[in-house]
Structure 1
Amino acid sequence: MTGTAASRMRGSAVPLPVSPDHLTHVELTWIEKKIEYWIRFGQHTRETILDRRRRILSFQPDTIFAFVRWASNDFGTIISRIDIVRAIAPGEAYQTLPFVRPGGDILLKIEGWPKVETVLHLVDAIEAMGIAPADAAPDYWRHVHNRLTAGHQPRAYSHDQHRAWLKRRRIAP
């Protein structure tokens, strides 16, 4: 859902503002064994510490990052989720996401610990190849999302796929 569509659902015709610094801001919280929100990969450009449990990381447009959210109560895990997001540039359409302002281009959205764990293993495998997961082809993260959502195993990322992505990125605007 784009920011404009989301604002209409709230009853306002005014879209959510893109931050004046053109960065995408992610609010992270860490309360041991209760709420643990963290960035698994992605290079932030700024960090703002709000208090001992909360901070905000800011990302430049086109930066890809993985945002992991986990929370529990007295009865166990209540949320386990990973989102892989591309930070947007001013004027781009975007999807809203909790704790991400204004939002981003969501490449992957997975819920439930078994599927989240699968994504984390895929991230580890990409790192083991010597490739930063934030530099992997965005289409790969969409593939992983679609396969896991359909209940299938995603294909592994390959060096050939990565070389093709790097060539495509050089020639396409």
Structure 2
Amino acid sequence: MFEDEAGFTMTPPTARTWSRRGHTPVITVRGRSRRRLSIAALACYKAGERSRLIYRPRPDTRRDGRKSFAWTDYRDLLQAAHQQLGGPLVVVWDNLNTHLTSGMRAFIAEQDWLTVFQLPAYAPDLNPVEGIWSALRGGRLANTAFTDPAHLIRTVRRGLREIQYRSDIIDGCLTGTRLRPATIPP
């Protein structure tokens, strides 16, 4: 199982545009928004079963002012995945400071159903969830100017739901890392 977090803003990623030859294309975006949606996702692989994607969105409208996930949010995501998948978890994740907090380390140490491996520093090419974010940005989110935060959230959730039902996309993201389920730590 691989984990990663991504942030999406109201400013649209541009996939393609065009203009007449000799004219620079200009993309008009209505205002500049600091609204943000953070998402943590787990790409789940188990031999003999279809790949799965488990995710949790977190809008930036938290009372504590925090714009990204706290270690407790990751803890809750791992507990939900454990309940949903019904077995022990082996998680491979990056060196995000939230993953390395003392609270998270203590939580991991207390769980007999959870084993965690850290990816090397600066190795996003080894994390298949990076491919999920790329597929999302290049698909449903491409060339979309969001009208309000609710529109952003709806569009991201719809895109992730489409990916959830397409295990071939999730498998392709694993293949893109050149890892195979057999090479994932036991």
Q: Which has the higher contact order (CA 8 A, sep 6+)?
A: 2
TM interval, shorter chain, is under 0.3
Which structure has greater strand proportion?
1
Normalising by structure 1, we get a TM-score of: 0.27
Which structure has greater helix proportion?
2
Normalising by structure 2, we get a TM-score of: 0.26
